[in-house]
């Protein structure tokens, strides 16, 4: 089974609108971390936001927030007030306590912001 | 100061050649990684070292050999390059804890002609 599933290969959003990028994960480990990375066309991998499995509140970083639904095993990224510079690939990743050195990545979602 | 630096950024070479990609991190991390990103943008783990010891060795052709002279460096040597090796290779590092993020290098675009 896939550890991380991103079901949206491509998404479009109007500038200034909010968008949600989906991510579901699969683990039986009680300790795990969830991460989102952005990869613009220039190629670098940019860390956006982190959510730990024991965190009670959803993580937020500026315009990014993580909608963490533990029972559903989902960790969706919400980008508010989309900007043209948000156009990029977005990757969801997980790291488990028992296999701590292994990062599991999803297949990514390509987001295009339309002016 | 660049946290994870890898060189070269671009590598264009002929089939059959041998090439190396160097990676250094100045974050004091214990664990370093090599990832391959194919044309569909899928990130695949290749190797991981923890304090110079190989801990993850995915199904990768023997032509790929990582070398870690110390915990701050993890180099990737590729023998007898093939067309299918063309990809972006990312070096990364992290602390050894599940709550710690991965720091990526800027990537090396390898093109095999």
Residue B1's pLDDT is 67
The beta strands (E) that lie in B1-113 are given as: 4-7, 10-13, 19-25, 31-37, 43-50, 53-57, 64-70, 73-78, 87-94, 103-104, 108-112
B30 contacts chain A (CB < 8 A): no
- Which chain A residues touch B49 with a CB distance below 8 Å? none
Mean pLDDT, range B42-50, rounded to an integer: 92
Rounded CA separation B71/B46 (Å): 17
pLDDT(B27) > 80: yes
Per-residue pLDDT of chain A (115 residues), as tens digits, is: 789 999 999 999 999 999 999 999 999 999 999 999 999 999 999 999 999 999 999 999 999 999 999 999 999 999 999 999 999 999 999 999 887 788 999 999 999 999 9
Portion of chain B with pLDDT greater than 70, in percent: 99
Residues A61-91 have pLDDT tens digits of: 999 999 999 999 999 999 999 999 999 999 9
CB < 8 Å to B34, chain A: none
* Closest partner CB to A100 (pick from B33, B43, B96): B96
Residue B7 has a CB neighbour count (10 Å cut-off) of: 14
Query: Going by DSSP bridges, is the β-strand pair A88-96/A109-114 parallel, antiparallel, or unpaired?
Result: antiparallel
Q: Which residues of A touch B40 (CB under 8 A)?
A: 107
Whether residue A101 and residue B99 make contact (CB cut-off 8 A), yes or no, is no
């Amino acid at each position: 089974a896939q550890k991380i599933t991103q079901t949206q290969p491509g998404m479009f959003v109007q500038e200034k609108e909010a968008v949600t990028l989906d991510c579901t994960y699969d683990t039986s480990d009680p300790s795990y971390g969830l991460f989102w990375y952005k990869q613009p066309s220039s190629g670098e991998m940019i860390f956006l936001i982190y959510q730990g499995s024991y965190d009670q509140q959803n993580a937020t970083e500026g315009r990014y927030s993580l909608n963490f639904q533990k029972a559903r095993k989902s960790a969706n990224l919400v980008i508010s007030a989309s900007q043209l510079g948000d156009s990029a690939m977005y990757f969801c990743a997980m790291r488990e306590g028992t296999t701590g050195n292994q990062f599991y990545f999803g297949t990514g979602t390509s987001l295009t912001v339309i002016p | 100061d660049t946290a994870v630096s890898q060189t070269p950024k671009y590598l264009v070479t002929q089939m059959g050649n041998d090439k190396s990609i160097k990676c250094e991190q100045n974050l004091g991390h214990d664990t370093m990684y090599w990832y391959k990103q194919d044309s569909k943008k899928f990130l695949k783990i290749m190797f991981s070292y923890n304090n110079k010891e190989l801990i993850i060795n995915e199904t990768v052709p023997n032509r790929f050999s990582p070398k870690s002279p110390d915990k701050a460096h993890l180099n990737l040597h590729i023998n007898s390059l093939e067309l299918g090796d063309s990809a972006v290779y990312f070096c990364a590092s992290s602390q050894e804890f599940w709550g710690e993020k991965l720091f990526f290098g800027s990537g090396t675009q390898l093109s095999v002609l």
